[in-house]
Amino acid sequence: MRGRVQPRPLGEIAAAAARVFTGKGYKAAGISDVAAVLGLSHGALYTYVDSKEALLYLAFLHLAEPEAPAGLTIPVGSPGPAGIAEIDARSVASAGFPALDAALGRRTKPVADELGGIIDELYAYIEGHQGLLALVESCARDIPELAELHFVRGRRVVLDQLGDYLRRRIRSGHLRPVPDVPTSARFLVESVAWFAWHRHGDQDSLMLKDDDCRRTVRHLLLAAFLPAEPSPGGNDDDADG
């Protein structure tokens, strides 16, 4: 390959790896699968990475920090499962959920605006990280460190915070009572996730427009949680904690 074939950009290697691992999962995918997508031999791919794990690292880096692979030295090594999981954690931390964080404190705006802001930021995060989230879901079953960091210390924490928010605002009379708060928090997140992400894999939903989905999800979730009429006797912010 040296002197005869132009080296492939690492971003191209990483994008192919992301497609393969997302489609097959980590254990089922092989170096040869990625090589085939790129039109390279199995051996030629080792010019760029030193292992299958390093390919997965490149895939995660490409989806979380698209410019990062270009700065790596080849052959790329792997930081190990914990290092791969840390890329996912960095993407969540860099995005943050400031509207949810603020809402867990004292109420400073109408609840419709407060909850609407939470819905908007969840939608924006999921919509903007579809590829990374799909890769995580595909590979987490094979990598316990990734599952622990993403689901246990990531998503479940956000769900717990959202449940805490709903519980406070229901107690103060600003949101309507629900049969079960944890289930309601999951309903909110999964409703957002389907329209912001999963609908793109549904052939029968391709006619739906992004802006229409975003506005409609916000509208319907607010209608589900806001009281039909403002609560005249509801406790105010001191009860929200």
One of 1.10.3720.10, 3.90.1300.10, 1.10.357.10, 3.40.50.720 is the CATH number of 86-240, namely 1.10.357.10
Q: Look at 113 and 233; give whichever has higher pLDDT.
A: 113
What is the pTM for the complete model shown? 0.87
Share of the chain above pLDDT 90, in %: 76
Cβ count near 125 (within 10 Å): 18
Determine contact, residues 88/136, Cβ cutoff 8 Å.
yes
pLDDT of residue 132: 94
Q: What is the pLDDT of residues 124-169, one digit of tens each?
A: 999 999 999 999 999 999 999 888 888 888 889 999 999 999 999 9
- Reported as a pLDDT band with limits 50, 70 and 90, residue 212 is very high
| Confidence check: pLDDT of 60 > 90 | yes
- Residue 105 structure tokens: 């404190």
Please name every residue paired with 49 in a beta bridge, in sequence order, or none if there are none: 76
| Confidence check: pLDDT of 199 > 90 | yes
* Mean pLDDT lowest among 3-7, 35-39, 44-48: 3-7
Average pLDDT of the segment spanning 29-43: 94
Domain ranges of the chain: 10-78, 86-240
pLDDT of residue 5: 56
Domains 10-78 and 86-240 share a fold: no
- CATH fold for the domain made of 10-78: Arc Repressor Mutant, subunit A (1.10.10)
Cβ count near 156 (within 10 Å): 11
pLDDT of residue 16: 97
pLDDT of residue 152: 86
Grouping H, G, I as helix, E, B as strand and the rest as coil, residue 49 is strand
Please name every residue paired with 76 in a beta bridge, in sequence order, or none if there are none: 49
What ranges in 10-143 are assigned the alpha helix state H? 10-24, 31-38, 42-45, 52-64, 81-95, 98-103, 111-128, 130-139
- Reported as a pLDDT band with limits 50, 70 and 90, residue 88 is confident
- Reported as a pLDDT band with limits 50, 70 and 90, residue 93 is confident
pLDDT of residue 7: 84
pLDDT of residue 133: 94
